[in-house]
Amino acid sequence: MAPHRKTTACLVLALFLAVNAVFAQGTAINAVILSQIKAMPVGGSYSASHVATVRLQSATHFEQGKFFVMPSAAAPSYCSGATYLVFLKTIEALRDSGKLKLDEQALGRLVIRGERDGEGIWGRWNANGPGTARLFFTLQLGSNFAGLERAMPGDFLKIFWTSEVGAAEHGHSVIYLGTETRDGVEHVRFWSSNVPSGYGEKSVPRSKISLMIFSRLEKPENLVRALQMPRFDPYLSHLETRRSSFAEARAKCGF
């Protein structure tokens, strides 16, 4: 084989191995996420009230270098709070297994302190629009994409019931579980805190979903970058009062 062909072949092989390594890492973490869902309570009712937020804060605390997450204390619950609790439980499970090392200063940034939309880690996750995806892009925690064909169970997912993004949106923060066919109709399955029952699984016709943004956790070690992250994300901070678009959301989330 000519030298330049050998070089090309080596580059292709290296790229193939790198892509598969990232895929394997994402698959392994997705399995951890799914295991944390199984350990979550069922029910508890849904509410996006101030009381629910106060109870969400009381459901997590960081002490002596360890996160303690008590999902049953966050009842009633709401969707972004439910997915964030699973995110925290996943980070702690990875740490317990020795697969993730983060210092206490970085871990402290994950604590919910009533941040406003776009403020800190929780405020970004909880924001209107592509909050989770924007956080993933900012800290390079993993990949964001819109195509259902790339999705894997355990991916975080923001569902938009209409084409509106921002102030006029109707959305849902969930964890993707797969698809299924019911009476010949494709359905999307997910876990979250759902109206009206609270924690649990749900399946809706694909046709009822207007837009989707998936976020796959691949590099949780990059949470250390939160120490240098600006306190506020101007884009997310203004989405409570400003209408955006899916094109803008894609651009802000790097896909």
Mean pLDDT on 222-230? 97
Nearest to 169 by CA among 77, 93, 245, 115: 245
* Residues in CB range of 151: below 8 A, 6 or more apart: 157, 176, 214
Q: What whole-number distance in Å separates Cα of residue 45 and Cα of residue 154?
A: 23
Alpha carbon of residue 95 to chain centroid: 18
Predicted pLDDT of residue 137: 98
Per the model's pLDDT, the better-predicted residue between 208 and 69 turns out to be: 208
Residues 148-185: pLDDT tens digits?
A: 999 999 999 999 999 999 999 999 999 999 999 999 99
Q: Is the peptide bond before 196 cis (omega within 30 degrees of 0)?
A: yes
Q: Is the CB of residue 138 less than 8 Å from the CB of residue 215? A: no
Predicted pLDDT of residue 65: 78
Residue 64: both structure tokens together: 């002596």
Nearest to 141 by CA among 125, 127, 153, 128: 125
- HSE-up of 154 (CA within 13 Å, CB side)? 20
Residue type, 32: V
Q: Is the pTM of this model over 0.75?
A: yes
Residues 90-132: pLDDT tens digits?
A: 999 999 999 999 989 999 999 999 899 999 999 999 999 999 9
Residues 228-244: pLDDT tens digits?
A: 999 999 999 999 999 99
The mean predicted confidence, pLDDT, of the chain is 91
3-state secondary structure at position 5? helix
Residue 216 CB neighbours (<10 A): 26
